[in-house]
Every structure is written in C-alpha cells, then in structure tokens.
Amino acid sequence: MEKVNVIGAGLAGCECALKLSEYGVKVNLFDIKPNAFTPAHKNADYGELVCSNSLKSNDIYSNACGLLKEEMRLLNSHLIKIADEVSVPAGNALAVDREKFARLITEKVKADKNITCVSGEITDIDENAYTVIATGPLTTQKLSDKIISLVGGRFSFYDASAPIVTKDSIDMDNAFFGDRYNRGNGDHINCPMNKDEYEAFYNALISAERVDLHEFEKREVFEGCMPIEIMAGRGKDTLRFGPLKPVGLDDPKTGRWAYATLQLRRENEEGTMYNLVGFQTNLKFGEQKRVFGLIPALRNAEYVRYGVMHKNSFIDSPSALNDDYSLKTNGKIFFAGQITGVEGYVESMASGLIVGIYLARKIKGEKEIKISERTVIGALTKYITTKNDNFEPMNANFGILPQYDLNIKDKKEKKKKLAEISLSFTRQFIKEIE
C-alpha cells in the first residue's frame, strides 16, 4: 500500500493523518515545527489554535458549527474527541484548554505507529506520490510558489471578504430587486437610505471598533483591498461615489434614486444567501451587526459570515479541485483545511477528516462514495468546488444547506429540520462506507 505525504500538521493535517492511519494507511506528516515557526505560531506542538480557544457552539439545532461537530463525532473525528476531553466551561460553546489541546494532538500523532513525523520546510511536491497539502493560511512562500504552479496561478494571499446575510432575513419592505440602469436580470437586492439614515450609518461606521491585526498582516492585507471603514474616513460622501452609489437604481417607492444605496449580490445558486457588495471590513463582528443594522433593509439581518480581512493563503478551489478535494489536473494530490477556502477551526478539521476517508478508500481500491450535500460537510465541499467567479472562503452555516424541499417559515423549526436531515444523511454515509 502506498504511503501518503501530508504536508502541514495543523488541524486539517493532523485530522487527515489520524483518519488515514485509522484505515491502515501509512503517513509521512511534514511540518516546519519545531525547527521553525510561522509569524502567528508560538507553540512547538501540532494543532495550535492561534486566534481563539473556542470551537463555537455545541447546539446542534440552532448553530451550523454545532451541527458540523456532531457530524464529525459520528464520523469518529479524532480532534473533536480530544477537544471534548480538554474542554473548559464556556456555556453552550465548546472551548478548550489550548495548550492541552495541542499537546494531546501532538502526543496522539507521534504515538501512532502508522505516522512518521518529519520536521522541516517543504519546498517541492512529488507529483507522483499521494499527497495532502494542508498548510493553512500561512503557507511559506517557496511552497506557495509550487502550489501556484499546480493550480494554474489562481492563489490568494489574503482574505478580504464582505459579510453575507440570509435572504429571508432581509427586510424587503425597505429593499427592491434590480440592476443599475436595468442592465441585467434584476438579480441584485438594493437597500436604499435617505440622507438621515445614511448620516447615522456613516457616523457609526467611522467610530466603530476594529480588529487588531498582526504586524505581518498590516504589511499585506490593506495594500490589495481597502476596508469600508477606511474608505469612509476619506470623506463623508466617499461611499456615495463608491459602494453606496445610488445612480441608476430607481427606488420603486419614490421613482427616484435614493441618497445612498447598498447592493446585495446573490452568493449561491439557490439564492438563500446575499453578499454585501464592496463591504470588505475589519470591524469586530458585533460592530458589523450593529453598524450595518442601521441600513433599514438589514435591521434584522442574520449573518452567515461576517466580513474579514486577514492573511489567508487559499486556492481558487472551484477551478482547481474535484469534489473529493483532489486536484483536477492530478488525482494524487489533495488539499485540505483553510487553504481550500473553508473558514474556521472546525471546518478545517472537517475537511481533513473527509479527505482522509476519501483518500484511504481510493488507495485501498474501494468504491467511491461521497457524503451528501445535505450534510454540513457535504455542503461545504459543494460550496468550495462549485463554479463561482467571486469565490471567497466560507464557514459552516445553514444557508449553504439545500432547502429546496422545505416549506417552513419559522426559522427555528427550519434549522431543526435541516439538522435532522443532515444527521440522517451522515448516518447513511457511515453505513455505506462500512
């Protein structure tokens, strides 16, 4: 049986290596630690959590990340099991003792008889060997250059993403469909503001709290994309000539252009999620909800992803990857973790887990079986591998789950039903692969 090279001993790489080993596949696990560190890492152990010790909610029926973790428990996730063991009190969330979490992951990986750990920087990839690239958002420059050649140049070095809201949470009494000067299919949702509303929004925006960036992020992130709050600081009317430009958008209520208008762009094929066009931001999440909620159409908006601006290396997965996370141009090379465009700790682990299952079965010559898109794992996979000209990283949320056969207006009941469907398809997948 061929040995697999897993590059990167972060959350995705460790989960993938342990899952491969579970199937009896031998693994070489490569990481620059402890000989060297990325700018954000300080702990010599694998699986280091950098930004937070929270793995988000455990609630299965109201939080998609809680549902994702339950799917992973059913699929015997090694890292979620460790997280449960080292959890600390955090209400309904799964928070961990970061040092214990990383230490136990490292101990488990290094004690595994099927895993050989190798420390050192990888600068090239053997294209004839089964390989999983799970180097995360801080992939070294030399390896990035190699990845760029593998994916045809479609590679991003930072993530400057606008928030995404659910379609059914937009107040359509204060919004309307239409494209500028009616040039298009009327797909955009337009959110008009009068002068008083705009000024209230503007004043809140320029004084809102922002996320502190690492020094290495400050050098790169803002050079390529200006945050909405920085743009606003250049003058009171700057936004009205930029992302809030009202020209060509006739408000049906007045028959005229509004004082300012935010456009929302459909984020997925089903039209259940909409992107705030031009609203890349570095505001804290709570501030985004408060400030953007001053736009009348977004007063009760439900955010499936908040805007982020940070260092984040990721490939254009829709053009590069098959739905088993393998390269379209080389079926032996797989990607996992944040480098694929899944956003978040748990999402990264989940991608490593499913890649481990798919690759192990492929190596052993077993029938190809895919997890349903009606699970969160499957829906994330579909999102990152479906054609998208505006591809940006995505976290787990109910908006990416198919809802075509549901006719439930109550949001809580709809989420509960989606969770039940998801877990039933997860169990079905387990039966099929067993």
Please report the DSSP string for 267-281 in residue order.
Answer: -STTS-EEEETT---
Q: What is the pLDDT of residue 215?
A: 53
Cα–Cα distance measured from residue 269 to residue 374, given in angstroms and rounded to the nearest whole number: 15
User: 19 or 271, which is more confident?
Assistant: 19
Stronger pLDDT, 140 or 210, i.e. the higher one? 210
Other beta carbons within 10 Å of 404: 7
The tens digit of pLDDT for each residue in 88-131 reads 887 788 989 988 999 999 999 999 999 999 998 888 999 999 99
- Average pLDDT (386-402) is 90
> Are residues 18 and 106 located together in one domain of the fold?
yes
**Mean pLDDT along residues 143-153:** 86
Give the pLDDT band of residue 217 (cuts 50, 70, 90): very low
Q: What is the rounded end-to-end Cα distance, in angstroms, of the chain?
A: 20
Q: What is the domain count for the chain?
A: 2
Residues 137, 168, single domain; the answer is no
pLDDT of residue 82: 97
Residue 150 Cα distances to 12, 30, 211, 323, 385, angstroms: 20, 19, 34, 17, 16
Are 294 and 392 within one domain?
A: no
Average pLDDT over every residue of 5-33:
96
Q: How confident is the model at residue 211 (pLDDT cuts 50, 70, 90)?
A: confident
Last residue of a domain, one of 306, 326, 355: 306
In this structure, are 147 and 33 located in the same domain?
yes
Tell me which of 138 and 257 has the higher pLDDT.
257
Domain of residue 104, residue span = 4-160+310-433
With 50 as the cut, is the pLDDT of residue 221 above it? Answer: no
Residue where one domain finishes, among candidates 289, 306, 323:
306
Give the pLDDT score at 44.
76
pLDDT of residue 108: 98
What's residue 393's pLDDT?
86
Domain final residue pick, 280, 306, 332: 306
Each residue's pLDDT tens digit, 164-191: 999 999 999 999 999 888 887 788 999 9
